[in-house]
Amino acid sequence: MVATAATSAFFPVTSSPDSSELKSKKLGVGSTSLKSKPLASSGSLQVKSNVQALPKINGSTVVESLKNDDGVSSPPPRTFINQLPDWSMLLAAITTIFLAAEKQWMMLDWKPRRTDMVIDPFGIGKIVQDGLVYSQNFSIRSYEIGADRTASIETLMNHLQETAINHCRSAGLLGEGFGATPEMCKKNLIWVVTRMQVEIDSYPTWGDVVQVDTWASASGKNGMRRDWLVSNSETGEILTRATSVWVMMNKLTRRLSKIPEEVRGEIEPFFMNSDPVLAEDSQKLVKLDDSTAEYVCKGLTPKWSDLDVNQHVNNVKYIGWILESAPLPILESRELCSMTLEYRRECGRDSVLQSLTAVSDSDVENTRSFGEINCQHLLRLEDGAEIVRGRTRWRPKDAKSFGNVGKISAERA
């Protein structure tokens, strides 16, 4: 419609004589009739027509008519003014275009009515509770579930890490580094996790949508604590709770660093004054060795895909290596419900690691047991240097099914 209006402004459509006469009669203005007369020099017909408003002087109509030698009325001479296009049509077309563009811009620049909710400009999540809590939803994909059709522990840990990075980006604290603020980038500082504690009440399954909420708080003088709360987005059921402690490290010297005042000024406005979502596990993590470990997996090496942008192994990868030495009967009959990890040093892409596990319950092969099983873990280099210490707790996957299995076996016996 806009294109048609713009075209008609430059190329006016000539109206028919009948419509011109009808308009003239309605306006009460006289019009000249169409006349034809043979010309002396040729046998063709010459058609002359002229319809125009008549000027008025002192309220009376003055009829002006130009006639040729034969007495036939002729139109006024063609001038530059009466050949210009209809600028009003062009102006209307431009106005319509601008109104449509303004409507589209208002839709893009939409803001929520609630002042306590800020939409993430990247369309990923939202910042709530006065900008201190970041919330993001994740759909459990088919490639993120394990043999028991529930999300793997690596999937859940990746969700935690992803929301932490997106929180920094949405708050405007993401510099050129991976999770580093602009001042941290200037000083070659990065965040590294030193402790992670996770409690899993229930695992989501394929197709579930989980909501992950995260926030940051101060931890001592030179640390930061980050908490997570994972819930079912539809029912609100709490699925996972996690807390962690982070410190700064110089990525050039690979040594821990204090928090500079410039960096503190960037991050402290986003700290939330709250207690940890999980009470600190005060039980000491024991150090395993060849004499105390019952299960050992050797020859673990990082791949190029295991490195992050800071050129060290992603902390989620360590969890997979720790579970490499967990006994198969535990993995088949139980699910991980609690995990505490202490990260002691990093490893590079040329490192060769060993995974050690000790089980507190000696009757590991008894899958009919309804009790929980605790395991101690150690991830170390071949020379014995510790990478991660850990402790895990495992519960039966389905107590009812184990009870039924026991009954069936007893009846057959």
Active-site amino acid positions: 310, 312, 347
Distance separating alpha carbons of residues 116 and 331, to the nearest angstrom: 43
In this structure, what token pair is assigned to residue 101? 């563009």
Greatest CA span in the chain, whole angstroms? 131
Q: Are 199 and 213 in contact (CB under 8 A)?
A: no
Distance separating alpha carbons of residues 395 and 369, to the nearest angstrom: 10
DSSP readout, 299-334?
EE---GGGB-TTSSB-HHHHHHHHGGGS-HHHHHHE
- Axis crossing angle, helix 2-10 with helix 87-108, rounded to the nearest 10: 150
Give exposure, 8-43, as e/b (b: 16+ Cβ within 10 Å): ebeeeeeeeeeeebeebeeeeeebbeeeeeeeeeee
127-to-75, 121, 122, 133 alpha-carbon distances in Å = 72, 10, 12, 6
What 75-83 contacts at long range (C-beta under 8 Å, 24+ apart), as own/partner pairs, is: 75/48, 75/49, 75/50, 76/50, 76/52
Exposed, middle or buried by CB within 10 Å (0-12, 13-18, 19+), for 358?
middle
